[in-house]
Amino acid sequence: MSLDIPVIVNLHKNLNISKGVIRRRDLRSCSEEEMVEELSDITHARGIKVRRDEDKIQTVTVVLAFDSPKPPSRIRQGYLMSNRTSRLQCHRYSHGKDKCEKPAAFCVRCGKGDHVKRDWLIRIA
């Protein structure tokens, strides 16, 4: 028995990429757009900058995003340890608001929710 049901498949844009880090002094003079054009399979490039006094200075480190779940083996790379996402209301990791066990409001400093609202008191929606 054959069912003719049309199916549309879309790839998840954030789960089908990988990231890597390269460090090259000669990339300091390249723009991020040039790196995406010149390097194969690169979808995004972001140079890491540091702040020195009032100026932002480009470092030799560039974060590259590849259009595949696994980065290519021909570009020298390192692992990217990106910032973990946390729930801003309770400052804990790996859960959403539906699974949060904190009370409706709590103080970031002491963890209790029984005192008057101040600027460090956080409301959980």
- Asked whether residue 117 is assigned to any structural domain, the reply reads yes
- Asked whether residue 124 is assigned to any structural domain, the reply reads yes
Amino acid making up residue 28: R
Task: Look up residue 42 and give its two tokens.
Answer: 């690169």
- Asked whether residue 19 is assigned to any structural domain, the reply reads yes
What's the CATH code of the domain at 25? Answer: 3.30.70
- Asked whether residue 76 is assigned to any structural domain, the reply reads yes
pLDDT tens-digit readout, 52-82: 888 888 888 989 888 888 877 766 444 445 5
Exposed e or buried b per residue across 70-102, where buried means at least 16 C-beta atoms within 10 angstroms of its C-beta: ebeeeeebeeeeeeeeebebbeeeeeeeeeeeb
Tell me if 60 sits within 8 A of 24, measured CB to CB. yes
- Asked whether residue 2 is assigned to any structural domain, the reply reads no
Selection from 72, 68, 106, 70 nearest residue 87 by Cα: 106
Q: Dihedral angle at the C-alpha atoms of 110, 113, 118, 120, nearest 10 degrees?
A: 50
Give backbone dihedrals phi and psi of 43, rounded to 5 degrees, phi first.
-100, -25
Same-domain status, 78 and 90 = no
Q: How many CB atoms lie within 10 A of CB 119?
A: 6
Q: pLDDT tens digits, the chain, 125 residues: what are they?
A: 678 888 888 877 777 788 888 888 877 777 888 778 777 678 889 988 888 888 888 888 989 888 888 877 766 444 445 555 555 556 566 666 677 776 555 666 666 666 555 554 445 44
- Asked whether residue 89 is assigned to any structural domain, the reply reads yes
Same-domain status, 42 and 23 = yes
Selection from 104, 103, 28, 93 nearest residue 59 by Cα: 28
Give me the number of domains the chain comprises: 2
Structural domain including 59 reads 12-82
Please give the model's pTM, rounded to 2 decimal places: 0.49
